[in-house]
Chain A
Amino acid sequence: MTTYSQTLGSRVYRFESLKDVLAKASPERSGDQLAGIAATSAEQRVAAAMVLMETPLRRFLEEPVVPYERDEVTRLILDGHDAGAFAPLSGFTVGDLRDWLLSEQVDGARLTEVAQGLTPEMAAAVSKLMRNQDLITVARKCRVVTRFRNTIGLPGRLSTRLQPNHPTDDPKGILAAIIDGLLYANGDAVIGINPASDSLSTVHTLLKLLDELRSAYAIPTQACVLTHVSSQLQIMEQDAQAPIDLVFQSIAGTEQANKSFGITLSMLQEALAAARALRRGTLGNNVMYFETGQGSALSAEAHEGLDQQTCEARAYGVARHFEPLLVNTVVGFIGPEYLYDGKQIIRAGLEDHFCGKLLGVPMGVDICYTNHAEADQNDMDNLLTLLGVAGVHFIMGVPGADDIMLNYQSTSFHDALYLREVMGLRPAPEFEAWLQSMRIVGPANRLAPRTSGNPMLSYLQTG
């Protein structure tokens, strides 16, 4: 058995396994402390990172952090590993990988070539050796582009998921929030409702409502009702014309955690096939939408002794297999027992975005917090700006940043306009053209002067 140790002065730090090294090397966060796997001193944390620096990347193929026999996520990762893509990196340590990623000759095309040769654990490991600016530099180089009715992830673009939730799923309440968001130039990643009720009839009603609005104004975007994948499968089985653009599901990085969500990989495969068979995409066939978040495996007591950031990277290993249109980490939603404060949320958001992009996943981030976390809107502004620099594909657009159904704070329609303005970013090209044709934006993509003449404003009266 390989031993992992580091001598610092007169002290010898020993780590019992690769996953122990990963956990101890992880930047401080409350979730790993809650799990009892975090470093117990600052020096031990650096000792673990130094061990990680010297660990060969091959080691991650030889020592699965969750046993192959027991976990279908491990099997997906190892069986899907592309040895050819890995070949140029196969002599590297984790430290070498960091240096290579940051070097000037490694550009987006080169990163795309190696993406399938990197496992989620390698991505997680290298992130633990990287400062925030490193996570930004490399993520910014990655190119992942996906398509359904528009194009997400092009350089210089920033999309938003319009999130018009309502505590009782009231159709008019939801429509009012959608129209407000569209008039604020939001909604190109997806218009996605978290329903308060999981009843099939409610989900069906909301799907129809979204489809009718989108069709009425020929909006080049996609719609989604974020309910359990099994409900969406059921609706597609019952109705061959079901207005399902994207199939949503929350996913995690271990088989047991996915089981606690009521899903298996084969269910996702089935949903992918069913959604593609509907042939609703006009520009492309990326039909899946996944949400993730550090801490979800631990909260299901299914983390397998892994640190929460490595678990999270494994969720991206799951995601990329299904060629999703959108994946976002819901980074601050889970609460302070997993990410205590703004500092931990910001770090986690940058790690998640980096790991996803490096693995070839179309990453967005729900930049968010709850009222019991030590965080506020200024922390969200910081993470928002950092992710804008890092090239995040999409963020959330929630009316006034206040989700009145899920009771947490995310980013607002205005926040997206801020980021587009200060970073010179534009919406997805097809959506941009639509915004201009609807006279919602004028030159330079700034909001046009407000008139009460927009046809969508009468939709609630006539619709």
Chain B
Amino acid sequence: MSSKLATPDPWQGLRRFTDARIALGRVGHALPTAEVMRFQLSHAQARDAVQQSVDFDAIAVELERCGLATETVHSQATDRARYLKRPDLGRLLDESGQRWLRELRDELGGHDVVLIIGDGLSALAVQQQAVPTLTQIVQRLRQAGIGFCPTVFLARQARVALADDIGERLRATATVILIGERPGLSSPDSLGIYLTYGPRRGRQNAERNCISNIRSAGLGHLQAADKLTYLLQESLRCKLSGVDLKDRSDLLSLPGSD
């Protein structure tokens, strides 16, 4: 799609080596109109991914169909603007969530794993990747005999560390949170999974393991579930997560990884 007034670059063949925006051509010193539109579309999709809210009701219905109950919780970041400015608030449950978990603790507490879906920075990622990824994870956990809390928590205005607050209150051995990653211009739909052994408030990122870039053009749902199950098994066996676990599991072959 090029205009007759734009000067094309005769090295478009180089594009086969990279996804970077090269050989775009020009009008004067500027980008051709079609390229400006292509960029703006990418940015618009990334912005929408950040700003829109996840339809957690629909996700709850889908998960119920797979036999999973859900509870919705909210961080202390009351809205998106506050969420973006105050990452600390996105890491803590709001009061009603705290109360709710106190009530649920006897019923739902003490499992090996608590599963959480958080909106994070991309509603698009959660909308598209969370349910298919989670259903694969649940299957793998059942096969592996890892016990998990039968209620999945759906968390709004959530940062990764909100899982610590939830997991600590439920006395879980480990938490797994599926969360929308900061959208790149060419990857607005990327989901991340974070595993934390021994969740408690104040855990550092180096104490977690991350599986990143789960999206249509990236890591598949099945692969992600395999990787997580493997990491989780190792984590429960070694009683730790994070850099120390990564260092150990690098010595072994990771099933399903390339």
Chain A residues close to B by CB (< 8 Å): 30, 33-34, 164-167, 170, 172-177, 179-180, 183, 336-337, 340, 370-372, 376-377, 399-402, 404, 407-409, 412, 414, 417-418, 420-421, 446-447, 449-452, 454, 457, 460
| Cα distance A183–B187 in the bound complex, in angstroms | 27
Beta-carbon contact of A371 and B84 below 8 Å:
no
Q: Are B184 and A183 in contact (CB under 8 A)?
A: no
Known contacts A176-B17, A452-B11: A34-B88 contact under CB 8 Å: yes
Select the residue from A170, A376, A402 with max chain B CB neighbours within 10 A.
A402
Residues of B within 8 A of A450 (CB): 7-10
Give every chain B residue within 8 A of A180 (Cβ-Cβ). Answer: 9, 11, 14, 20, 22-23
A409 CA / B8 CA spacing, docked (Å): 23
Inter-chain CA distance A147–B43, complex, in Å, is 38
For A166, A175, A376, A399, the residue with the greatest tally of chain B CB atoms inside 10 Å of its CB is A399
B184–A172 touching, CB < 8 Å: no
Secondary structure at the B interface, as helix, strand, loop or mixed, is loop
Contacts of A404 in B (CB 8 A): 18-20, 184-186
Partner of B26, one of A165, A174, A371, A447: A447
Complex Cα distance A172/B18, Å?
8
Please tell me if the beta carbons of B42 and A402 are within 8 angstroms of each other in the complex.
yes
Chain B residue with the shortest CB-CB distance to A172: B17
Is the pair B50, A418 in contact by a Cβ cutoff of 8 Å? no
Q: Give the chain B neighbours of A177 by CB distance below 8 A.
A: 18, 20, 22
In the assembled complex, which residues on chain B have CB atoms less than 8 Å from the CB atom of A401? Answer: 21, 39
CB distance from A384 to the nearest CB of B (A): 13
Q: For A33, list chain B residues within 8 Å (CB).
A: 85
Is A176 a contact of B46 with CB atoms below 8 Å?
Answer: no
- Additional 19 contacts, C-beta under 8 A, given A377-B43, A400-B21, A451-B10: A30-B85, A165-B20, A173-B19, A174-B18, A176-B15, A183-B9, A183-B11, A336-B84, A371-B183, A371-B184, A372-B183, A400-B31, A402-B21, A407-B182, A414-B31, A417-B29, A421-B28, A447-B26, A457-B11
Is there contact, CB below 8 Å, between A176 and B86? no
Most A Cβ at <10 Å: residue of B30, B121, B184, B188 = B184
Q: Closest CB-CB distance, B182 to chain A, in whole Å?
A: 6
In the bound complex, how far is the Cα of B81 from the Cα of A340, in angstroms?
Answer: 9
Range class of the B interface residue count: 35 or more
A372: nearest chain-B partner, CB-CB: B50
| B84 touching A460, Cβ below 8 Å | no
- Tell me if B47 is interfacial: C-beta within 8 Å of chain A: yes
* In the assembled complex, B207 has its CB within 8 A of some CB on chain A: no
Cβ-Cβ contact count across A and B, 8 Å cutoff = 133
> Is there contact, CB below 8 Å, between B186 and A402?
yes
Scoring B residues 169 to 201 as 1 if CB is less than 8 Å from chain A, else 0, what string do you get?
000000000000011111110000000000000
In the complex, are the beta carbons of B39 and A34 less than 8 A apart? no
Q: Measured between C-beta atoms, what is the minimum distance from B161 to chain A in Å?
A: 14
Q: How far is the CA of A119 from the CA of B31 in the complex (A)?
A: 42
Measured CA separation A219–B240 after assembly (Å): 51
Chain B min CB distance to A426 (Å): 14
* Among A165, A167, A451: residue with most chain B CB under 10 A: A167
Q: Hey, which chain A residues are within 8 Å of B30, CB to CB? A: 414, 418
The distance in angstroms between the C-alpha atoms of A409 and B21, with both chains bound, is: 12
**Which chain A residue has the least Cβ–Cβ distance from B46?**
A371
Q: Which among A175, A372, A399, A421 has the highest number of chain B CB atoms within 10 Å?
A: A372
Task: Render B70-93 as a binary contact track against A, CB cut-off 8 A, 1 for contact.
Answer: 000000000000001111100000
Interface pairs (5), CB distance under 8 Å: A34-B87, A337-B86, A340-B84, A377-B43, A407-B184
Let me know if B131 is at the binding interface, CB within 8 A.
Answer: no
Which chain B positions have C-beta within 8 A of A414? 24, 26, 29-31
Within 8 A of A (CB), among B19-72: 19-24, 26, 28-31, 35, 39-40, 42-43, 46-47, 49-50
Q: How far is B46's CA from A408's CA once the two chains are assembled, in angstroms? A: 11
Asked if B17 contacts A173 (CB within 8 A), the reply is yes
CA distance A340 to B85 in the complex (A): 7
B39 engages A400 (CB within 8 Å):
yes
**CA gap between A183 and B25 in the complex, in Å:** 11
Q: What is the CB-to-nearest-CB distance from B8 to chain A, in angstroms, rounded to a whole number?
A: 7
**Shortest Cβ distance from B29 into A: residue:** A417
Assembled-state Cα–Cα distance A407/B19 (Å): 12
Question: Provided the pairs A337-B84, A371-B43, A457-B11 are in contact, do residues A400 and B183 lie with their beta carbons within 8 angstroms?
Answer: no
**A-B pairs with lowest CB-CB distance, top 7:** A400-B21, A407-B184, A173-B18, A417-B29, A452-B10, A180-B22, A371-B46
Q: Which residue of the partner chain B has the closest CB to A174?
A: B18
Query: Which B residues are CB-close (under 8 A) to A183?
Result: 9, 11
Residue of A nearest to B25 (CB): A450
- Tell me the B144-190 residues at the A interface (CB within 8 Å): 182-188
B-side contacts of A174, CB under 8 Å: 18
Give complex CA distance A332, B23 in Å.
26
Min CB distance A235 to B, Å, is 23
Residues of A within 8 A of B14 (CB): 176, 179-180, 457, 460
Determine the chain B residues whose CB is within 8 A of the CB of A30 once the complex forms.
Answer: 85
Pick from A166, A451, A454: contact of B20, CB below 8 A.
A166
Contact (Cβ within 8 A) B84 A175: no
B9:A372 contact, CB within 8 angstroms = no
Q: Assuming A372-B121, A407-B182, is B50 touching A34 (CB within 8 A)?
A: no
Nearest-Cβ distance from residue B109 to partner chain A, whole angstroms: 32
**Which residues of the partner chain B approach A164 to less than 8 Å between Cβ atoms?**
20
Chain A residues within an 8 Å CB radius of B22: 176-177, 180, 399-400
Collect the chain A residues with CB atoms within 8 Å of residue B47's CB.
Answer: 371
A418 — which chain B residues lie within 8 A by C-beta? 29-30
Q: Which residues of A contact B88 (CB under 8 A)?
A: 34
Least CB distance, A440 to chain B, in whole angstroms:
12
Contact B29 A371 (CB under 8 A): no
Q: With A and B bound together, what is the CA distance between A372 and B43 in angstroms? A: 10
Say yes or no: A460-B39 contact (C-beta < 8 A), given A337-B85, A400-B22, A407-B187: no
- Known contacts A33-B85, A176-B18, A417-B29; is-contact A371 B11 (Cβ 8 Å): no
A contact residues around B17 at 8 Å (CB): 170, 172-173, 175-176, 460
B8, B15, B84, B87: most-surrounded residue (chain A CB, <10 A):
B84
